[in-house]
Amino acid sequence: MAVFAVFAVLSLFGVIAHRVYLGVRPAAPQNESPDNLGKDQAWRATPASRREYLAELRKKQAAQAATYAWVDRKNGIVQLPIDRAMDLVVEEQGSRN
């Protein structure tokens, strides 16, 4: 009887572990036809579309990291090149000491 109880407990644990850990599926399927995905998920359709999306994203981020721009003019939030922002932080921290 004890052997059966141990087997039942282990089986139950296995079922729960399977549902929790292996039952999780990605939000959008990979390698799916772009027609079957929503407009905001179409970039996930194929490896080529993912590479293209990533290249565009990196290009956009590189441009943002190297240019000045207004993020929110009303609140006075600006976008600075990274080098300039680091210089300003060093100057600010140096004046506090």
User: Residue 29 pLDDT more than 60?
Assistant: no
pLDDT at 67: 94
pLDDT at 63: 92
Beta-bridge partners for 70: 78
Residues 6+ apart with CB under 8 A from 15: none
Q: How confident is the model at residue 95 (pLDDT cuts 50, 70, 90)?
A: confident
The pTM for the full model equals 0.51
pLDDT digits (tens, 9 = 90+) for 53-71: 899 999 999 999 999 999 9
